[in-house]
Structure 1
């Protein structure tokens, strides 16, 4: 497969396509009229593919130096995960005044009921020596008049394989906040038409930098059927977020078997 991607014919095809787009660019810069809608849509589609390709290969290149492999996790841990948006630059760096349910990436969506949408969710670079992930998620809230604000992290398919009541999901986070704020995490597990929800408060209110929190979701107490899990996600919920700035510096989810009693 690698030879096919880097072979002489493949390189010639990509080089020819690049020259064609360069000619289209030169023509667009010379012309005064509008560019045809078909070409504009084609360029947008190509940009999305290239951006996702660069994001994917950057994630792959980080595998050998990912700190996940060096973390101390419970015995029997069979899955660990740090969201890609915390590991590599995202194609869309920010959501400004978004409607509820808008996605920042394939993994992260923002939900709220603020009529003025006075919210910004963005990816930012972690630069401190103590940071374990390359990027963070920053949430800035201005005149918030809604009753709820949360963002969701969608779990990858690997987390759902064989997931059941014999598992514990462990959520380790590092947060910071300008003003004290209470944060909750809610695990949602979808099986057919039913969705089981487990809510946990993430310890004492978050205030200042480097607030580490560790919570566990024991699925032995969840009302789960024998059906396979179709979808799972974690909602990070902020209580009374008016005029505050919160950053999720790191998040690691892992899975291990619960003790049989």
Structure 2
């Protein structure tokens, strides 16, 4: 018998169980207390299993699918990536009072200089039909006594392998803000002892954003590229909640005219 198939005997048994509980529900108001007590315990045991099936099935059937790396890619893309935090369930889904340089997952790290951290990071499940990423990350900030707050995404080795000044690196994000705040995005590419930096500001009150970093305007030494990372820098983040529903990266050669 193949996995997932239900035999005739199983179907008949399931119908009999359903009829039993239907009769028990109808007679509960008049049943003897000893019988009712026994049925109540059985019902609670059954409910625990049913609740587990419902919870797991709703999570698995919800859109988008866990592990999805599906998102639009510009024409000519030679590398594309969605970080683990937005793609897979993490073992550690949340951090309260996040310390400086503390990571959520293997690729995302929070930096700040607060004396007392009132920042919380939490991976959340995306269930909106419009969302392509299976997960998002929620950042809650209460008091903030520091001078900077940034979420850093380390790009994988594939992002910088063969990287040239003729490349454009693109970031697509979906950002929800409880209150409007300034968010800057900075690409950092380390080559030898130097680091090239390109900064853009995300539009305020715009949920879907695309930022492109054209490396033609840098002094990148193509032969010495070592690694790259992206900073999301939040200005005046106190008493706010920011949800990053998605973050995807891609790379393509610049069109020549």
TM-score, structure 2 normalization = 0.72
Listed as ranges, the matches of 1:29-178 within 5 Å are 66-68=69-71, 71=72, 73-178=73-178
Count residues with an aligned counterpart. Answer: 193
Root-mean-square deviation over aligned CA pairs? 1.6
**C-alpha displacement at 1:227, in angstroms?**
2.2
Residue segments in structure 2 that go unaligned for 5+ positions in a row: 1-64
Structure-2 separation of matches of 1:93 and 1:134: 14
- Between the aligned partners of 1:96 and 1:151, the Cα distance in structure 2 is 15
Aligned-partner Cα distance in 1 for 2:94–2:205? 23
Supply the distance in 2 between the matched residues of 1:226 and 1:156 (Cα, whole angstroms): 17
Question: Contact 1:179/1:245 (CA < 8 Å) preserved in 2?
Answer: yes
Preserved contact between residue 165 and residue 222 of structure 2 (Cα < 8 Å): no
- Find 1:219's aligned residue among 215, 220, 240: 215
CA distance in 2, matches of 1:154, 1:110: 11
2-structure distance, mates of 1:158, 1:176: 29
Equivalents in 2 of 1:245, 1:106: separation in Å? 23
Tell whether the 8 Å contact from 1:114 to 1:145 is kept in structure 2 after alignment: yes
SS of the equivalent of 2:222 reads: coil
Aligned-pair distance for 1:158? 1.0
Give the Å deviation of 1:84: 1.2
Alpha-carbon distance, 1:229 to partner:
1.8
Distance 2:90 2:80 in 1: 21
* Match of residue 47 from structure 2: none
Which of 238, 243, 254 is 1:242 aligned to? 238
